[in-house]
C-alpha cells in the first residue's frame, strides 16, 4: 500500500482524534461529508475503510457500511490517539473491529461454517477470519463509504445504485480497483443487491464469474428469508466452493 491509498485517512485522522467523543451527531456531520446528491437525497460520509488485504483468499462484500459500522470505525481510530500506530495497522484494526459486526457477523459465520468454508481455509470456524486468521479475508462493500438516503442507512435498492451516478462510480471504479489488487480470491456477495452489482461487473467482463459464490443471503437479522434462501442455494454453493478450492490447489 502506498501513502496515496490512505490519502483520505491522513486527511481525516486528526479530525477524528480531536472529537470530544464518537457519537452519531459528531460523525454524521458536515466535516466528514464527502459528497451529496440533493435530488436523490443521498449523502456519503467518510469512514476509515481503505485497508486492502492483498493476500486474501476470500473477499466478503456488503452493500455499504451502516451507521453502527461507521461509529465502530471512528471509535477504533479515536482510541488510537497518542499511541502512534502507523496508518496500515490502524486501518486493518478498523476492518477487523467493524466489518459485519454484531448479530450480522454471527449470522454470517453460521452460514459460512455450514458451507464448510473454514475447512478449506484450515480453520476451526470462520469466526477466526475476524481475529487470528484475518490475513485470509478481505472485507469490503460495493460502496466503500457510509451512504445515507433520507438520513437513514442506504439499503441498496432506492435509488438503484447502478442507475445513480454518485453511487455507480463506487462500483465501477472503487470496488474494481480494490479487487484488482487481489490474487483471484473467492468473492462472496452478501445478498441479491450486492450480487446484482457484482454480476454487472461480470457482464462488463471485469470480473471472472468462476470466482463468484452466488446465492449467499444477506446476513442481516432483518432478513427474515435468510435461512430459506440459504437452504435453497446451499447445494450449488457447496459445489462452487469445492470447485474453487480444488482449482486453487
Instruction: Report how far Cα 190 is from the mean position of its chain's Cα atoms.
Output: 9
Integer Cα distance of 185 and 189 in angstroms: 12
Which range, of 101-110, 166-175, 177-186, averages the lowest pLDDT? 101-110
Integer Cα distance of 155 and 153 in angstroms: 6
Integer Cα distance of 202 and 174 in angstroms: 15
- In this predicted structure, the answer to whether residue 248 has a pLDDT above a threshold of 80 is no
Q: Which residue has the cell 437479522?
A: 221
CB 203 within 8 A of CB 229: no
Does the residue 7 lie in any domain?
A: no
Q: What is the dihedral of CA 57, 60, 64, 70, to 10 degrees?
A: -80
Does the residue 20 lie in any domain?
A: no
CB 137 within 8 A of CB 53: yes
- In this predicted structure, the answer to whether residue 27 has a pLDDT above a threshold of 60 is yes
Neighbours of 173 (CB within 10 A): 11
CB 186 within 8 A of CB 56: no
The string of pLDDT tens digits covering residues 48-90 is: 999 999 999 999 999 999 999 999 999 999 999 878 788 999 9
Could you tell me the residue range of the domain that residue 88 belongs to? 30-248
Integer Cα distance of 38 and 75 in angstroms: 29
Closest by CA to 187, choosing from 56, 65, 1, is 56
The string of pLDDT tens digits covering residues 193-222 is: 999 999 999 999 999 999 999 999 999 878
DSSP 212: B
Does the residue 177 lie in any domain?
A: yes
Does the residue 133 lie in any domain?
A: yes
Which CATH number belongs to the domain containing residue 231 in this structure?
Answer: 3.40.470
The string of pLDDT tens digits covering residues 216-245 is: 999 987 878 899 999 999 999 999 999 999
136: its cell numbers:
485470509
Alpha helices in 148-191 (DSSP H): 165-169, 176-180
Length of the chain: 249
| 100 phi, psi to nearest 5 deg | 50, 45
Integer Cα distance of 106 and 110 in angstroms: 6
Number of folded domains that form the chain? 1
Q: What is the dihedral of CA 101, 104, 106, 112, to 10 degrees?
A: -110
Does the residue 210 lie in any domain?
A: yes
Does the residue 72 lie in any domain?
A: yes
- In this predicted structure, the answer to whether residue 2 has a pLDDT above a threshold of 80 is no
Does the residue 193 lie in any domain?
A: yes
Position 85 scores a pLDDT of 82
- In this predicted structure, the answer to whether residue 247 has a pLDDT above a threshold of 50 is yes
At 3, the pLDDT band (50, 70, 90 cuts) reads very low
Does the residue 18 lie in any domain?
A: no
The string of pLDDT tens digits covering residues 81-115 is: 878 788 999 999 999 888 887 788 999 999 999 99
Higher pLDDT: 247 or 34? It is 34
| CB contact set of 16 (below 8 Å; sequence gap of 6+) | 22, 27, 48, 74, 77, 78
Position 96 scores a pLDDT of 86
DSSP 4: G
Amino acid at each position: 500500500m502506498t501513502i496515496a491509498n490512505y490519502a483520505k485517512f491522513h486527511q481525516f485522522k486528526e479530525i477524528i482524534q480531536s472529537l470530544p467523543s464518537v457519537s452519531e451527531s459528531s460523525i454524521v456531520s458536515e466535516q466528514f461529508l464527502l459528497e451529496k446528491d440533493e435530488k436523490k437525497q443521498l449523502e456519503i460520509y467518510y469512514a476509515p475503510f481503505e485497508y486492502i488485504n492483498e493476500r486474501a483468499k476470500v473477499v466478503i462484500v456488503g452493500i455499504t457500511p451502516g451507521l453502527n459500522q461507521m461509529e465502530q470505525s471512528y471509535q477504533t481510530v479515536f482510541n488510537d490517539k497518542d499511541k502512534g500506530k502507523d496508518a496500515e495497522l490502524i486501518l486493518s484494526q478498523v476492518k477487523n473491529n467493524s466489518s459485519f459486526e454484531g448479530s450480522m457477523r454471527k449470522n454470517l459465520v453460521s452460514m459460512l461454517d455450514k458451507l464448510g468454508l473454514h475447512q478449506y481455509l484450515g480453520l476451526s470456524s470462520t469466526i477466526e477470519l475476524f481475529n487470528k486468521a484475518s490475513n485470509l479475508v478481505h472485507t469490503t462493500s460495493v460502496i466503500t463509504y457510509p451512504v445515507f438516503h433520507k438520513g437513514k442507512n442506504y439499503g441498496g435498492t432506492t435509488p438503484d445504485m447502478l442507475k445513480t451516478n454518485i453511487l455507480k462510480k463506487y462500483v465501477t471504479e472503487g470496488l474494481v480497483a480494490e479487487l484488482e489488487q487481489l490474487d483471484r480470491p473467492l468473492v462472496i456477495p452478501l445478498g441479491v443487491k450486492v450480487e446484482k452489482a457484482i454480476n454487472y461487473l461480470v457482464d462488463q467482463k471485469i470480473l471472472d464469474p468462476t470466482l463468484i459464490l452466488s446465492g449467499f443471503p444477506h446476513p442481516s437479522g432483518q432478513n427474515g428469508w435468510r435461512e430459506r434462501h440459504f437452504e435453497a442455494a446451499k447445494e450449488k454453493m457447496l459445489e462452487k466452493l469445492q470447485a474453487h478450492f480444488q482449482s486453487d490447489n
